[in-house]
Amino acid sequence: MKQILLGLGLSLLALSAIAQQNSSDPRVRVVTTAGEFVIRLDPGRAPLTVAAFLENVENGHYVGTIFHRVVQGFVAQAGGYTPDMELKPTESDVVNESGNGLSNMRGTVGLARSNEPHSGTTQFYINLADNLDLNPRPTRWGYAVFGSVEEADMEVIDSIGHGATSRGGPFDNNVPVTPIIIERVELITE
């Protein structure tokens, strides 16, 4: 019961934080073969990660990459591989900002990384559920959240998260059978 109440309390805090995000925070539109969605970035809480993400948007890195790892009820990950499962070259690693107060809740966007805490580059993931195990703990680094998908666009994310997957590359059975290709990512200017 205590865990349920704690989880509910954390969910309410995360929703409150998302609702209080500054309306001037940058937003990007991600257009894929499965539909489009908007991510609101949080440069106040994750300035290094947001800056790296926006640099990759501007230099066109994400165009032609796929959602290469989709684990139903967990995450949908993109931003690193081509449809041929070739890893696109990346620049330098981003310092891990997982202690920024943002939690890996459903709809939030985080920077993917290897087991090394400061190894994130271009790959990002969208939480398909509340994934509190991805948050930092006193004994280990977590995975840095740097934005959230706008609520109205979660239908597109859910459809990606429920698609059929199979074996491909190093991702066990988590590669979408029908490739979900990122066609365009653009900064939204009001």
Q: How do residues 131-189 score in pLDDT, each as one tens digit?
A: 999 999 999 999 999 999 999 999 999 999 999 999 877 777 899 999 999 999 999 98
Q: What are the residue ranges spanned by the domains of the chain?
A: 2-187
Residues 94, 121: Cα–Cα separation, whole Å: 6
- Cβ neighbours around 143 below 10 Å, total: 22
Using left for φ > 0, alpha for ψ between -120 and 50, and beta otherwise, residue 149 falls in: beta
pTM of the entire structure? 0.87
What whole-number percentage of the chain has pLDDT above 90?
Answer: 82
pLDDT at 6: 38
Burial classification of residue 21, based on how many CB atoms lie within 10 Å of its CB (0-12 exposed, 13-18 middle, 19 or more buried): middle
DSSP, collapsed to helix, strand or coil, labels residue 77 as strand
Among 2.40.100.10, 3.10.129.10, 2.30.42.10, 2.40.128.30, what is the CATH number of 2-187?
Answer: 2.40.100.10
pLDDT at 23: 63
User: Hey, which residues does 176 pair with through a beta bridge?
Assistant: 165
pLDDT at 58: 97
Across the chain, mean pLDDT equals 90
CA 82 to each of CA 13, 39, 68, 86, 140: distance values in angstroms, whole numbers, following the listed order: 37, 21, 8, 5, 31
